[in-house]
Amino acid sequence: MIPTDFKLKMQTLYGDSGREWLSHLAGLLDSLKKRFDLTYSEPFSLSYNFVVPVQIGREQNAVLKIGYPNNDFSNEFHALQDFQGKGMVKMLDYSKEEGWILLDRLMPGPSLHSIDDEEEVLSIFAHTANGLWHKPVSIHPYPTVQSWSKGIGRLRERFSGGTGPIPQELVVKAEALYPELLNTSTDRYLLHGDLHHGNILYSASSGWTAIDPKGLIGEREYDCIQFMLNEWEKWDAPLELLRYRTETIASRLSLSYERLLQYGFCHSILSACWSVGDGHDGFKTGVSLAGMFEELLGE
């Protein structure tokens, strides 16, 4: 039931600890099956968590998520609790100690990718985001935008003070702009942290709903950037699309147009740094998007 490529990924990432966790995973799946009368389907396309659609008893559809015990899974667990199902998929049951969460299955479950009309997409995004955001209520030590921004420094460490394949002038600008934005930030919210098209699904019972929160503390503008970085390549005029998205989001959510662009530039460079660190060539996309944000800032 556990795909081979997922096993290899966890072993590569975590070594002996990953192999031990995979052994635990197999036993946990058997235990949960008996405990909740679960029927397993084929796992979803897996990244860093084991996620599988299940049926509880004979009627209730759900999703079982089991995560490797690290900060990322802990942050998601607490974020799901703190959002309390408001615009966010609901937790049906969980065990933090055992490392699993049973979630409501959003049916029929198409994502925002399924909608072509950009105005409708932006309307759904704005409504979903506005329903999610609230001031932090728990004492859980979520990552902050400031802690994320340190990823640029790790690029410097990797290349002995240089910037590797990312143009130095763009990195220097992000290094200067991030602190400026953080030092002038006012309202800090609990953010989703990865609120893009694929993480907003339609449910017949609850409408458009977010899934897979990372849990991040920062200004609301920052939580719009990952959405703005997605689904632009199919457009003939991506710069015009980015301008339209920024203007529309700023208007619908009463956010700062300039800070959206500034955070967009910074996060594009940060995303490029992450890609370099992971050994991917996706940094090219981050650099291209940073250039578009920079162009809009210069208008």
| Amino acid letter for position 156 | R
Cis peptide before 108 (omega within 30 of 0): yes
Q: Supply the pLDDT for residue 99.
A: 94
pLDDT value for 170: 97
User: Can you list the positions of beta strands (E) in 41-159?
Assistant: 49-56, 60-67, 91-95, 100-104, 108-111
Kind of pairing, strands 108-111 and 189-191? unpaired
Residue 233, CB-side half-sphere exposure with 13 Å CA sphere: 5
Q: For tokens 């942290």, what's the residue?
A: 193
**What CATH code would you report for 4-104?**
3.30.200.20
The CA-atom distances, in angstroms, between 221 and each of 69, 218, 254 are 30, 8, 10
Chain segment 233-277, per-residue pLDDT in tens: 778 889 999 999 999 999 999 999 999 999 999 999 999 999 998
CATH 3.90.1200.10 fits 110-297, yes or no: yes
Which residues are CB-neighbours of 44 under 8 A, at least 6 positions away? 51, 52, 53
Say what the pLDDT of residue 25 is.
Answer: 95
pLDDT of residue 45: 85
CA distance 147 to 144: 5
- pLDDT at residue 235 in the model: 80
pLDDT score at 278: 85
Equal CATH topology for 4-104 and 110-297: no
Q: What is the pLDDT of residue 138?
A: 86
Low-confidence ranges of the chain (pLDDT < 50): none
Going by the DSSP 8-state scheme, the letter that residue 134 receives in this structure is B
Three-class secondary structure of residue 109 per DSSP:
strand
Q: Would you kindly state where each structural domain of the chain is located, as residue ranges?
A: 4-104, 110-297
Phi, psi of 116 (to 5 degrees): -95, -30
What six digits make up the tokens of 103? 């979630």
Give the pLDDT score at 231: 86
